[in-house]
Structure 1
Amino acid sequence: MDAQKYLKRIDISAVQNLDLEYLTILQNSHMHKIPFENLDVTRKIPIGLNADAFFEKILVKGRGGFCYELNGLFQNLLSDLGYHSHLISCTVKKPDGWVREDSHAAILVTLNEINYLVDVGFGDSVRQPLPLTGEKKTDVSGTYRIKKFSMGVYDLQRLDGREWKILYRFSDNPKKLDDFHDACLFNQTSPDSHFTHGDLATIATKNGRITLSGMTGTRSENGEKEKFELNEEEKREFLREQFNIEL
């Protein structure tokens, strides 16, 4: 993979020391420059688990993607740079239960014998590496921690008022892209998949987030949200101006 092209895409000029600070810069910059989006899914354009295809779509064509594409490509970058990392599988929590088991892909990075959760493919979530030690981290999107559930199994939690709520549960077992084949197919085709029910695109900003959901645009800044309805022409312009995506 062309790591320099990747770094240029996320507006990082040079490789630095392979430490936690640089990993944080990489993750944060990625989430500010590359959107989470499902526009191929809703247009029934097949997404295969192929790193070369991810590179072409995200780095050459300037698109975004969903978790397998974003975290799959980002984990490749981390490995190419020299970080000790691997993919992991996660099960996302819903208000009334759980989604399909092990259907979300994220990354585990080991630095100085400490494991960190890194995820650039979960939309509005933590923007920095999160240690599995339980230490709390806060950014513009909220306050987070990792809570151990059982041996090798952990929960990503976000503070909601005074209550910690689970976003997803994950295992620290290493996974390969091919391990997500069935889950990737499910998320592209099943009526039970969240991603088959309308267009979604979202990207982090300095103080919030910009999101398209169906025909609704949302700008969030410093905890305040502005929502507005779009017609088809306005939607295309919104995607072009906010995400640099041409349908």
Structure 2
Amino acid sequence: MGSQDRKAEADAVMDRFTADAYLARIGAARPAVADADALRELHLRHLLTVPFENLSIHLGEDIVLEESALVAKLLRGRGGFCYELNGAFCALLREIGFEAEMLAARVFGDDGRLGPPYDHMALRVRTATGEEALADVGFGRHSRYPLDWRSRDEQDDPGGVFRIAAAPDGSGDLDVLRDGAAQYRLEQRPRGLGDFESTCWWQRTWPGSHFRQSPVCSRFTGDGRVTLAGRTLVVTGRTGEDGREARAERELAGRDEVLAAYREHFGIALDREPVAVGAASR
């Protein structure tokens, strides 16, 4: 995708009115200057308010990788997975004065093997004051704040110790590490939303995809996370003077309690319970 095509994609829906509605959705003010401090605040506010969720897969809803669809879903109070969250965030950043590019990544599995191409989307962001950052509001347990794109040193963040390193295969790609473990391998070539469509379809339809195993909705809370996986509600957070992590887990009794949990913890109003693809109706 050429630069003119990417600009046309960015201009497709995100005008000032829509951007203001987006900012209101995440509880953020329009920054006076699109600098690093503003990006940090927007990144954190996004994580605190917009959940990572795969509910569309388990509700039989289509996932359309077009800017208008992504932003409209978010403004309805929903979240999404990486393509949706970072795709929408990219559009917002561009409208309010940042330069933002979508980058393709491959996620490292527990066995150290890489996932398929376009397995994940992250953002390279340039501020109006010359900084460059890696922003990612769609990768579960990740940094709370953008990472310094140019640094190859360890970067302390409340979410862990991160480092951006040259991939050892000499490809020119970059590995993003958290606490010494590689999380994903990132291309440096800018991409457009259309480039992610095939892998997004594969993630939604392949029976072995982890996105199809259970409905999941998760949101950062400031000192922990709240996650609803199927009918299991898990709340974690820091407690006590020593900052120990507390964990509370319980099984919800049925449909009404599940729908109430979506409303209370994620602001998502549903008229039916998401049921794992292929699971029997309950």
Name 1:245's counterpart in structure 2. 268
2:90 counterpart residue number: 75
2:229 is aligned with 1:213: yes
| Equivalent residue for 1:123, pick from 116, 134, 140 | 140
Residues 52-80 of structure 1: per-residue CA shift (max 9 Å, x gap): 11121111x11111111111110001111
Q: Name the counterpart of 1:141.
A: 159
Give unmatched runs, 5+ long, in structure 1: none
Q: Which moved more, 1:186-195 or 1:174-183?
A: 186-195
- Separation in 2 of the partners of 1:214 and 1:124? 19
Among 48, 61, 64, which residue is 1:48 paired with?
64
How far 1:113 sits from its partner (Å)?
Answer: 5.4
Does residue 236 of structure 1 match 2:259? yes
> Separation in 2 of the partners of 1:220 and 1:148?
34
Deviation of 1:114 after TM superposition, in Å, equals 4.9
In the alignment, is residue 227 of structure 1 matched against residue 249 of structure 2? yes
1:175 aligned partner: 191
> Any gaps of 5 or more consecutive residues in structure 2?
1-13, 239-244, 271-282
Cα deviation, residue 4, structure 1: 0.7
Which deviations, in whole Å up to 9, do the C-alpha atoms of 1:139-189 show, x marking residues without a partner? 332222212214531111111xxxx10111111110000000101101111
Structure 2: which amino acid aligns with 1:218?
V
**Equivalent residue letter for 2:181:** K
Amino acid at match of 1:9: R
Matched residue SS, 1:24: helix
Q: Cα distance, 1:239 vs. partner?
A: 1.0
The one-letter amino acid paired with 1:121 is: G
Structure label with greater radius of gyration: 2
CA distance in 2, matches of 1:152, 1:20: 26
Residue 12 of structure 1 deviates from its aligned partner by 1.2
The one-letter code sitting in structure 2 at the alignment partner of 1:240 is: R
Residue identity matched to 1:227: E
Deviation sequence 1:73-104 (CA, Å, 0-9, x none): 10001111121110000111111222222221
Contact kept in structure 2, 1:134 and 1:145, CA below 8 Å: yes
Contact 2:36-2:131 within 8 A present in 1 as well: no
Shift of 1:215: 1.9
Determine the C-alpha separation between the residues in 1 that align with 2:157 and 2:236.
Answer: 14
Shift of 1:13: 2.5
Question: 2:30·2:96 contact (CA, 8 Å) conserved in 1?
Answer: no
Instruction: Give the length in aligned residue pairs.
Output: 242
More strand by share: 1
Partner of 2:32, secondary structure, is: coil
Q: Secondary structure at the match of 2:108?
A: strand
Alpha carbons of structure 1 residues 28 and 155: separation in structure 2 relative to 1, 3 Å: same
- Which amino acid is 2:66 matched to? N
Residues in 2 aligned to 1:227 and 1:141: alpha-carbon distance in whole angstroms: 21
Greater mean deviation of Cα atoms: 83-92 or 233-242: 233-242
TM-score computed with the length of structure 2 as normaliser: 0.81
Root-mean-square deviation (CA, aligned residues, Å) is 1.5
Secondary structure of the equivalent of 1:90? Answer: strand
TM-score (norm 1): 0.92
CA distance in 2, matches of 1:200, 1:137: 29
1:65 aligns with 2:80: yes
CA distance in 2 between partners of 1:115 and 1:173 (Å): 15
Identity of aligned residues (%): 34
Does the CA contact (< 8 Å) of 2:106 and 2:117 recur in 1? yes
Residue 138 of structure 2 aligns to which amino acid in structure 1?
Answer: G
Measure the CA separation in 2 of the matches of 1:16 and 1:29. 17
- Matched residue, 2:9: none
Deviation at 1:108, TM superposition (A): 0.6
Contact kept? 1:125, 1:141, Cα under 8 Å: yes
